[in-house]
Structures are given as structure tokens and as C-alpha cells.
Structure 1
């Protein structure tokens, strides 16, 4: 069977038209050989979205916008129909959001999948949302800056007004004087700081000693804390004991003691007893004063001339020995200077002994004797004795042999 050329031409035209229609549909994103599902979304505005715009899921194209039309209720809302691959299911609560895909503002639909366990069916209407465009986003970012700028301009205007009022001739003069006073104050502060630094540098040793002494005192207080606690406990015990004592006998005892004291004072004011005579009799008072003066003269004479009253002394105190000694004593005889003897001890670090040398303390018969020097040279001990007399007029030279006190005359015989 022979096919005419017109038949062949018709078949070719039909095939060409079919291929053309399929190609145009494919270029629009409609693949007639691929199974798709379509969904609907209602928007109040679409901000430039048009048919054939892409539909993306996680940044991957899964379909395209098929159709955009107004709803027949004349509300101005738009119904957008888009198609996606039928292999992709949309869970409930999925949102189709219109967003910008580039800086030029090209609009696409971005699928934000929901978390529901159920899925939409084909041709269902799903919720939609519109992202703000670039202009609105820039406006929202710039709006706070604009507000701040307006506030800043208002503040600058107020500041300029204040400066205009301040920087007149009188104000400039006052400011100049204020800055001058400030400079003088800064200079005084610097000078004071320099003086303080000089004082601290010169008194650094004293400060260190003070700190050391404070540390010693604190250490001593810490070590004596137990004693303080015991003292407080004793005071507390005494206070408790006093609190338990009956007050009536104590008050009565005080009243009796007061009466006795008043009786004594009355007797002292009368002249019928010895104490009263001593206080009220001028002649008796004069006699006692004269006796005290005579005793004072007697004691001074004994101190100056003890040889008139004493024939011997354990330490040869006050005994005058006139020897023309020029040599030195050799052997085991040691000369020392006896400074003073007291019933109470004296610290060897006291200023009274300062400059005399090492001080020795001896205790005998409940008396404390203090000596200085230790030499076998009588010439040296005489010099030390003369020096000691300036502070201790009663100082005397004593001699020791083999650690025992001997008479000075016996020691001086060795000089001959």
C-alpha cells in the first residue's frame, strides 16, 4: 500500500505540533511523563509571585507554581495552585511560605514541613505565609537607627544651644579661671604626692619596724588568748558569785564601814588623841617636820661620809681608798664598778645604764646589785669609775678573786 505524500506531510505536521506542545510544556516545568500532585494555598498578597516560579523543599526544587487567581468572594485574596512530585507527601501543619530567592527579589514558594503524623491529599488547601520583602526587612533594620539618629540630632541641637549660651564672654572668663584653679589643684596634688613619697622613702625603716612590732604584738596576743579566756572565765565566775551574794548584808556592811570612817574623821578633827594632835597641833607638826629634816641631813651625811659610821662593808660601798696606783693588777683579781643596789630589780636595758658597757646583775640577801666592767687593770677601772660617777654618784670600785668578793685594800696591795 502506497502512502501518499500528503499523508506523510500530515503525519509529520501532527508529530511536529505534538513535539512542540510537549517541549513548550516541558520548558514550563510540566513533564507529561512525570506523575505530580497539585495543592492550593490562599494568600492575602503574593508580592510578585507568578506562575512557573519554583517550589522548594530544603532548598531543592520539587515543583512549580501552576496557576494564580483571585477568589470569587471578591475579598481580594488570591488562590495559588502549585504542583509537586507525587512521591513527596506533605504532613499536616505544613506551611507554604512565599520567600525571596535572591537579592533581586525573585519570589518562590518554600515548603516548611509540619510535624503531624497525617498527610494532606492531592488538591487539598494548605496554610500559607509571606516573608517580608527586602525593602521591609531593610526598613525594619533601619527604623531603630533612624529613631536613634533623630534622638541624637535632638540631643546635639540641645547641646549646641547650651554651648552657645555657655561660651559667651563672661562664661569663657569663668571657665578660664576654673581651669586655672584646676591646674593649681593638680599641681598641689602632685606636690603633696611627691612629699608623701619622700616621707615614705625616708621613713621606710620606721614603717617596717612598726609593722614588725605590730606583728610581734599580735603574735603575743594570740599566744596569750588562752590566758585571756581564763581571765574572762574567772571574771564571769566572780560576777556570778557576786550576783548570788545577798545585797542586804553588803549594804549593811558598807553603812557600818561608812559610820566608822566618819567616827575616825571626827576623832582626827579633835585634839584629844595622837592622830588629832598630829593633824591639828601646829607645834607637834613643826617638831615632826624638824625631826624629818634632821633625819634627812643624817642620811645625807651617812651617804657622803660612810666611814664615820660604818667600819666594814660587804661590797666596800662608799669606802674611800687613796692609792697612788700606776701599775696593773695581774693574776686572778678582777676589778668591777658597783653602780647601785636595790630591793627591786632594774632592767639592764634601761637608759640609766646606757653607755657604760655590759651590765651584770647579782642577787644577794634579797637585794639586787648591778656592776659594770671586768678588768685586771686598775687604771682602766678607775676611768670607768669616773665615767659611772656621772650617772651614779654612789658608784664604787670592788674587787673579786676567783669569783669571790675581797677587800679593795687587799687587791690594791698587788699593785705594789
Structure 2
């Protein structure tokens, strides 16, 4: 049976759509040809974990984070959903720990496997934990030193109390001042020790890299000593060549070139020549701006009314909207129709004082089927609503014009046809 060209075209389009959908999901990390198992983890905080972050086991990536949402407990905790590729099963007692995967602080999930013969099922919630930050680790290291210093200070305080009864008043005064300085010195040493520990912990890898780079540079310089000798000889030759060059003549020629450029710029600023006329012609700028706006209207009309320009399509695009502002023709019909610009729709209520609405004088809120739509610019003037729509597109790219007749929404093309636009 021979297929018609339309049947072949349909098969080609369906195959193209299938390849497109598979490719988009593959780029997101979803492979339809591999088995994927989803699990959930609840965290109090995620410290920068993102969707599509890697899920690792012993340094090997076995999956990725799919979604991150707030939990239903209303306490600010977060639910992370991740998937594993293949048929790997997570034993019960395992922990999903958020760690830093590199020096830049990129976060990933590391599965700490607990050997067990009982496994979590798909969709189960497994325990989670978060790697301690550098500040917390340094604090834990400094805490024993701090405790010892406090004990030492307490002992010194008791000793000073005994000594004050032994020495005379002046000696006791000197000892008190000395121990006060010792106390301050110990506190300073504690602070310096904490700073040094934190600095060494943060810059340990950098210091190691610097030492390795210095060794490589030293060995490279040693291996290329002959090349450096040749380079110095070449520089000497270049220096001799530069000494023989007529620098004064070159500077003179450069000054003449600069004077010529200044003369050309002066003519352009005074409006002489073609370039000067183009730069000083305000009418040319206005014509270009008007042509840009007309081109924008033409592109919108082509997008909304493809049948006006292309009379063949393999699909029914579903709407014929013709927007072409013209002068008023029917004053009586115009008063029956009003137009508004639809800015945005939201499943939850937005404040009219939101900064996104600051460029609009009046914003109207309409509740439809549990959602909220926000409109602006009520007018019966088609040209005026087009200007409002153009301004709204800069803030809301999906803004659109809707028409009403006697307070009821009607099709935009019908209203424009009635108005003769």
C-alpha cells in the first residue's frame, strides 16, 4: 500500500515531536529507556542544594535531585525528591547527607549506605543530614582550648588572691597589673589561635597548590634556561633595531594622523558631509523609531494571524485575530465596547501594591475559577489600549488585550470588526 504525501508528512511530524520530547527530557537527566526510582528526604535546611544536583554513592553519580518543595508541616522544612537510575535499592538505615562537592561550595547528596537486607520502597522517605560548616568545625576544635584557658584563669585568680596577702601594697599592685596583662595576652592568643585554625582550614588546599606551582615553575625555569638565554639575546637585537628606528619621524606622522582625525570629527559635529547629516537629523531618528514600532505590530499580526500571510498549514492554529488600529468609524458602536490589558494570572492573590504593578495607575483584580487575574487600562479607544499594551509588554511579556461588551467578555476580533478596525 503506497502512502500519500500527507500521510508521510504526518508520520514525519509525529516522529519529530517524539524525538524533541525525548531530547528535552534527556537534557533534564530523565532517560525513558532507563529505570528510575524516586525517594524523598526532609531537611530543616538545604544550604544551597539545587534541583538537578547530583546524588552520589562512594563518589559515583547514581541520580539527581528532581524537585525541592516546602513540607506540609508548615514549619519551614523542605522536602527533596531525588531519583536513582537503574535498579539500585537503598537499604534501610541509610542516610542522605548534603555535602559540598567542590571548593566553590556546590552542594550534592551523598548516600551513606547501611548494610542491610531490608530495602526502602519507591516513594519512601529516608533520613537526611547536613554536613557541618567550616565555622562549626573550627569552633569544635577551639572549644577544648577555651575550656583549658578558663580553668587556667580560675587557678591564676586563686593564686593571686593568696599572693596579695603576702606582698606589700605596691608589690600586690604590680602583680595585679602583671596578671591582668597575662589574662589579656591569653585571650589574645585564644583569638589568634582560632583565626589561624580557621585560616589554615580554609586555605590548606590553596597553600598546597601554591607550593606545587612554585615547584613546577622552578623546574620549568631550570629546564628552559637555554631558551631564556636566547630570549635575552633576541631582546638585545630588538633593542638595537629600535635604536636605529627614526622615532621622531614616526611621532610626527602620528601627530599628522591625529590632526586629520580631529578635522574629520569637527566636520561631523558641525553637520558637514553625509555622516554629519545622519548624526544630526532628528527626523531620521523619529522615522526609525516609528518603523521599529510598525515592524513590531507586523510581527505580532503575523504571529496571531498566520493565515493572512500563509494560506497553507498542516494544523489548524485555532484563532484569527486581526489588530490594525484605525480611525473611529462608528461612534455609537465604540461606546458599547471597552478594552483592557491582561497583565498576569496567579493561583494565589497578589498585592496591588506589589512593585511589579508600580508602572500602572490602576490595577483591577478578577477572581476566576480559584485563580486571580490582574487587568489595567480600561478604555474604549483602540489606539490608547494598544499603547498601554506596548508599555505592559516591557514588564509582562505575555500581556494581552481583552475586549468587553456591556461588561461581558467577548472575542477581541469580533469587537475590532464591529468597530471597523
In the superposition, the TM-score normalised over structure 1's length comes to 0.34
Structure whose alpha-carbon radius of gyration is higher:
1
